[in-house]
């Protein structure tokens, strides 16, 4: 019997290995194809779309091509019980064996058990997405946020992400509720579908995807403000969607007394929503601040490996701590990433700067491609698809209405207060490029127990496929049609070692970019941050002694490291050289100069900051730093001087 157990354990391990192997090979194949596409300059299909196609192929093969012999030895013992505990003890002649709950087995499909087993083997625990794959993606998004443009458009971004997503969720929820009522009327509904289910669907499907937006837009080098709006919104609305959907779930009716959400529950829901969101924000920022302090006051920078490891561990701890506190780790990690980039990054050694950046870039790349190929796979390997034409049509209609109800009215309201209006063309692009992706998928696969959830999951898959393939592929024509010009970056290898980027065609913007959309509140924070927070947490900025009032001099002395005086903000030097009039402008420029979202697109040699890589931007001699910003955004001194 011992040998039997050993054999079973080995067999199960072998199968697990094979499962992961299939995915690694899939990713390898995807990488090679991505390279080929980039090399041959095919642009009609995006890499995430590519990963999905490979996933689909493997799904088809697993579903129809593989016939597994039923494993007799793996026979199951059936117990009868009154409840479903999380663990079960089996008594075999005095020995107790513990069993852990794995999930419900669908009795419908239990007649063809071997193939089901094979397909189930190819699926992952949905928690893998939330605990392993999403955190690096979201952290990377926060860590590489193009901060200057992000902060310049913060008001608009927050409006779209918070107000807009809530509006969109409700619009979609209502449309779907109508749709479900219709289905009920024509008898197409085979199970329960509550109003909260509709709201849940609205919440999960409202999250636009930063992954694809980042990939497509940064590769195309569109207008930076448009990019900042799109990317900022999509990053933050992921957070909103997570928190919103879990608030809805908390008030899921358990019985039939369901349809109406009473007012108090709504209010509690709102309270939970705000508490979780602000909790995650505080936790994430606190972890970032703590890391900044540690890296500032220890001389850890002498040992880049230790420093990188610490950075990685602290960021990961943020996620774990948030999960342990029952708030959302993914959201905490987002804010942690932003804080790390804003403060900690300045304390790191040059070595660690590139190391951390490259590490998270790699993790992000792998996780993202894994998710998209897994999505493709799921279409065929998932056992309980419920494809309902009415629901699917309704869902497509709903997401358009929801997106429109988010973008157009809010843009109108925002334009009332903005000096640089968000042009109608920009609004169309934002409407059009609100792709659904990784987060929507992860949220919908998390729970597929009920009929309603299964129908949602199947529809979600189709929506993701459609938006990524059609809208993702259609972004380039769309942009040319709307006359928002963009620049392709091409790479040529001139010599064996150094890569030269050369930008073809100069970009010109259509939308008018104004300079005063930062609200007074934001400007207040900015000054405060610049004068006190940044000098406190990092080695850059003006020394605290000069900014704090005289009475605090001893404290200031104590908190000001000797490096503050010695060390110029090395990143900003690049740009300062070109416009020496900007005093202290380093603050908003520093990290921008090094973080370029496009670095995750592999279409250009990786930007390494001042330390490596001879990178000559041939046709755009205006661009000073390592980032080939579109020239129209280069009058750096102007918007910056306004703030000081």
- What whole-number distance in Å separates Cα of residue 394 and Cα of residue 172? 9
**Minimum CB distance to a second copy smaller for 123 or for 563:** 563
CB neighbour list of residue 595: distance below 8 Å, 6 or more residues apart: 143, 144, 145, 146, 147, 341, 357
Q: How far is the CB of 570 from a second copy (least distance, A)?
A: 7
**Minimum CB distance to a second copy smaller for 186 or for 256:** 256
Q: How far is the CB of 263 from a second copy (least distance, A)?
A: 22
Q: 3-state class of 436 per DSSP?
A: strand
Q: How far is the CB of 296 from a second copy (least distance, A)?
A: 13
- What whole-number distance in Å separates Cα of residue 415 and Cα of residue 423? 9
Q: How far is the CB of 100 from a second copy (least distance, A)?
A: 5
**Minimum CB distance to a second copy smaller for 31 or for 401:** 31
- What whole-number distance in Å separates Cα of residue 335 and Cα of residue 286? 9
**Minimum CB distance to a second copy smaller for 87 or for 257:** 87
Q: How far is the CB of 467 from a second copy (least distance, A)?
A: 25
Q: How far is the CB of 552 from a second copy (least distance, A)?
A: 26
**Minimum CB distance to a second copy smaller for 136 or for 329:** 329
85 phi and psi angles, rounded to 5 deg: -75, 165
Q: How far, in Å, are 30, 134, 335, 368, 526 from residue 329 at the CA level?
A: 29, 10, 10, 18, 27
**Minimum CB distance to a second copy smaller for 54 or for 151:** 54
DSSP letter string over 9-21? HHHHHHHHHHHHH
Q: How far is the CB of 574 from a second copy (least distance, A)?
A: 14
Confirm if 149 and 228 have CB atoms less than 8 A apart. Answer: yes
Confirm if 522 and 151 have CB atoms less than 8 A apart. Answer: yes
Token output for 588: 């908003």
Q: How far is the CB of 133 from a second copy (least distance, A)?
A: 15
- What whole-number distance in Å separates Cα of residue 253 and Cα of residue 418? 43
- What whole-number distance in Å separates Cα of residue 337 and Cα of residue 316? 10
Token output for 233: 């919104």
501: β partners: 491
Element (H, E) at 215: helix 210-220
**Minimum CB distance to a second copy smaller for 117 or for 405:** 117
- What whole-number distance in Å separates Cα of residue 471 and Cα of residue 475? 6
**Minimum CB distance to a second copy smaller for 34 or for 203:** 34
Q: How far is the CB of 332 from a second copy (least distance, A)?
A: 12
**Minimum CB distance to a second copy smaller for 116 or for 390:** 116
Handedness of CA 514, 517, 523, 525 (dihedral sign): negative
**Minimum CB distance to a second copy smaller for 262 or for 566:** 566
532 phi and psi angles, rounded to 5 deg: -115, -50
**Minimum CB distance to a second copy smaller for 338 or for 601:** 601
**Minimum CB distance to a second copy smaller for 161 or for 310:** 310
**Minimum CB distance to a second copy smaller for 93 or for 581:** 93
Q: How far is the CB of 27 from a second copy (least distance, A)?
A: 5
Q: How far is the CB of 599 from a second copy (least distance, A)?
A: 8
Q: How far is the CB of 16 from a second copy (least distance, A)?
A: 8
66 phi and psi angles, rounded to 5 deg: -100, 125
DSSP letter string over 560-599? S-HHHHH---HHHHHHHTT-TT-SSTHHHHHHHHH--GGG
CA dihedral 400→402→408→410, nearest 10 degrees, is -160
Q: How far is the CB of 327 from a second copy (least distance, A)?
A: 11
DSSP letter string over 326-355? TS-HHHHHHHHHHHIIIIIHHHS-HHHHHH
Each as own residue / partner, the long-range contacts of residues 326-329 (CB below 8 Å, 24 or more positions apart, any chain) are 327/276, 327/279, 327/280, 327/283, 328/239, 328/242, 328/243, 328/246, 328/276, 328/280, 329/130, 329/131, 329/135, 329/280
Closest C-alpha among 253, 162, 237, 126 to residue 199: 253
């Amino acid at each position: 019997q011992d040998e039997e157990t050993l054999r079973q354990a080995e067999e199960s391990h072998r199968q697990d290995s094979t499962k992961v192997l299939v995915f690694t090979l899939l990713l390898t194949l995807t990488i090679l194809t991505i390279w080929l596409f980039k090399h041959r300059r095919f642009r009609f299909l995006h890499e995430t779309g590519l990963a999905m196609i490979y996933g689909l192929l493997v799904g088809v093969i697993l579903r129809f091509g593989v016939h597994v012999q039923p494993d007799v030895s793996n026979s199951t013992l059936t117990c009868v019980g009154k409840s479903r505990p999380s663990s079960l003890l089996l008594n075999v002649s005095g020995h107790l064996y513990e069993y852990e709950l794995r999930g419900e087995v669908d009795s419908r499909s239990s007649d063809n058990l071997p193939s089901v087993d094979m397909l189930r083997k190819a699926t992952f625990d949905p928690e893998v997405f939330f605990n392993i794959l999403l955190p690096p993606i979201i952290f990377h998004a926060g860590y590489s946020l193009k901060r200057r443009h992000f902060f310049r458009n913060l008001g608009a971004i927050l409006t779209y992400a918070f107000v807009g997503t809530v509006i969109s969720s409700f619009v979609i929820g209502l449309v779907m509720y109508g749709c479900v009522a219709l289905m009920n009327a024509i008898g197409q509904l085979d199970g329960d579908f509550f109003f909260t289910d509709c709201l849940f669907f609205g919440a999960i499907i409202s999250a636009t995807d930063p992954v694809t937006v980042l990939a497509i837009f940064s590769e195309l080098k569109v207008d930076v403000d448009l990019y900042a709006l799109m990317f900022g919104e999509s990053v933050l609305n992921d957070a909103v969607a997570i928190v919103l959907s879990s608030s809805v779930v908390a008030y899921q009716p358990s019985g039939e007394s369901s349809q109406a959400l009473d007012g108090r529950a709504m209010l509690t829901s709102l309270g939970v929503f705000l508490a979780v969101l602000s909790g995650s924000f505080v936790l994430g920022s606190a972890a970032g601040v703590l890391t900044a302090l540690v890296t500032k006051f220890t001389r850890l920078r002498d040992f880049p490996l230790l420093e990188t490891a610490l950075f990685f561990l602290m960021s990961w701890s943020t996620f774990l701590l948030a999960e342990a506190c029952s708030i959302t780790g993914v959201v905490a990690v987002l804010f942690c990433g932003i804080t790390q980039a804003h403060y900690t990054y300045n304390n790191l050694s040059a070595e660690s700067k590139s190391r951390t950046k490259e590490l998270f870039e790699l993790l992000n790349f792998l996780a993202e491609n894994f998710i998209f190929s897994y999505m493709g796979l799921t279409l065929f390997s998932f056992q309980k698809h419920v494809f309902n034409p009415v629901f699917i049509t309704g869902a497509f209609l709903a997401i358009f209405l929801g997106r429109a109800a988010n973008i157009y009215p809010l843009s109108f309201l925002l334009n009332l207060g903005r000096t640089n209006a968000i042009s109608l063309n920009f609004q169309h692009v934002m409407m059009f490029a609100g792709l659904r992706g990784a987060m929507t998928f992860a949220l919908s696969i998390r729970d597929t127990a009920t009929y309603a959830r299964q129908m949602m999951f199947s529809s979600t898959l189709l929506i993701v496929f459609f938006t990524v393939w059609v809208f993702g592929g259609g972004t380039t024509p769309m942009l040319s049609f709307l006359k928002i010009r963009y620049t392709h970056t091409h790479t040529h290898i001139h010599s064996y070692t150094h890569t030269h980027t050369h930008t073809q065609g100069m970009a010109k913007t259509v939308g008018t970019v104004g300079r005063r959309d930062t609200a007074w509140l934001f400007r207040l924070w900015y000054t405060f941050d610049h004068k006190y927070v940044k000098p406190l947490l990092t080695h850059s900025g003006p020394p605290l002694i000069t900014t704090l009032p005289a009475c605090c001099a001893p404290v200031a002395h104590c908190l000001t490291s000797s490096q503050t005086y010695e060390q110029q903000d090395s990143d900003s030097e690049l740009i300062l050289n070109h416009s020496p009039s900007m005093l202290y402008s380093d603050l908003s420029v520093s990290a921008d100069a090094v973080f370029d979202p496009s670095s995750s697109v592999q279409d250009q040699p990786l930007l390494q900051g001042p330390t490596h890589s001879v990178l000559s931007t041939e046709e755009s001699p205006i661009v000073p730093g390592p980032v080939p910003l579109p020239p129209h955004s280069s009058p750096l001194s102007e918007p910056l001087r306004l703030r000081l």
